[in-house]
Amino acid sequence: MKIAPGPRRATARATLTIGLILLAMQFLAIVFAPWIAPYSPVDANPINALQEPSLKHLFGTDVSGMDIFSRVVFATRINLLISVTAVAIAFAIGVPIGLAIGYYKGWISSLAMRIFDFVQSFPVFVLGMVLVSVMGQEIWNVAIVLAVLFTPVFARLIRAEVLSLRDRPFIAAARCSGATDQTIMFKHILPNALTPAIVQISISIGMAILLTAGLSFVGAGVRMPTPEWGLMVSNGAQHMILGIWWVALFPGLAIVFSVLTFALLGDAAKQIFDPQNRSIS
């Protein structure tokens, strides 16, 4: 007899639904940005500088006269492109590394862990600033830097799961049946070790969005006139003391909106994959 889903399961479904709706809204902004945005995101018009929100400019204009609403919409492409690409690269590199160093014990595994310790010993934001400064302030360079920062996270998660699985009875049975190390690793261990890494994807994307915006805010990310939320907040922050609030407010809200989306998805995934919340038959 199957137990009816409890309050935690219902909460997870509601959280997942809200997260997916917010994600769909951002996806629509990415795909249909040229049709949603009424103006070009990079065309400056000093005559229209610092206009308040109105029917003509929904979010107002910035100091260069660029339409903030159009820039916020197009910035969704930039911020999510950087964040999703960075996390995808980190996942693709970190998972195999974590699988290998968790299954094969030895000096290579120890060396890899010490390298991860070294990378993670630096403050993430400071290390990101240094790497971007060295590599150059380009979109793909920012994505690569974030991938370097997140790779140890995925590698450690997978390694911890592999260490807990490699000596289980079903793995011993696979060895006795003549299965090779590659078969054991990719067929028996990896599918059972992926859950924490999958949950971490949404969390890492949210963190990547914040780091991307933070790097641009301090001048170490993408450069003008590229529409990017953190860069827009930086350009508008200096005017807030003069009562010009809209230049920084709307891109700031976009950051909150996007990070909240992936936080909800990550929380829902964590609850759904939690064995305690699964239905028992």
Residue by residue, pLDDT tens for the chain (281 residues) are 343 455 666 777 888 889 899 999 999 999 999 999 999 998 888 888 889 999 999 999 998 889 999 999 999 999 999 999 999 999 999 999 999 998 887 788 888 888 888 888 877 778 788 887 777 777 788 888 889 889 999 999 999 899 888 888 888 887 888 778 788 888 888 888 888 888 899 889 999 999 999 888 888 778 888 899 999 998 888 888 888 899 999 999 999 999 999 999 888 887 777 655 554 33
Q: What confidence score (pLDDT) does residue 280 get?
A: 39
- Measured CA to CA, the distance from residue 144 to residue 206 in angstroms comes to 16
- Measured CA to CA, the distance from residue 40 to residue 27 in angstroms comes to 19
CB atoms within 10 A of CB 191: 9
Q: What confidence score (pLDDT) does residue 281 get?
A: 38
- Residue 61's beta-bridge partner residues? 67
| Tokens encoding 55 | 């029917």
- Predicted TM-score (pTM) of the model is 0.87
- Measured CA to CA, the distance from residue 142 to residue 129 in angstroms comes to 9
Q: What confidence score (pLDDT) does residue 5 get?
A: 54
First-residue to last-residue Cα distance in the chain? 5
**21 closest CA partner among 261, 272, 235:** 261
| Tokens encoding 150 | 């997140």
Q: What confidence score (pLDDT) does residue 1 get?
A: 32
- Measured CA to CA, the distance from residue 189 to residue 247 in angstroms comes to 50
Are the CB atoms for 80 and 74 separated by under 8 Å?
Answer: no
Q: What confidence score (pLDDT) does residue 2 get?
A: 40
- Measured CA to CA, the distance from residue 4 to residue 281 in angstroms comes to 10
Report the topology of domain 7-31+83-277.
MetI-like fold (1.10.3720)
**Helix, strand, coil: what percent of the chain each, to 5?**
75, 0, 25
Contacts of 53 (CB under 8 A, 6+ apart): 59, 60, 246
Q: What confidence score (pLDDT) does residue 4 get?
A: 41
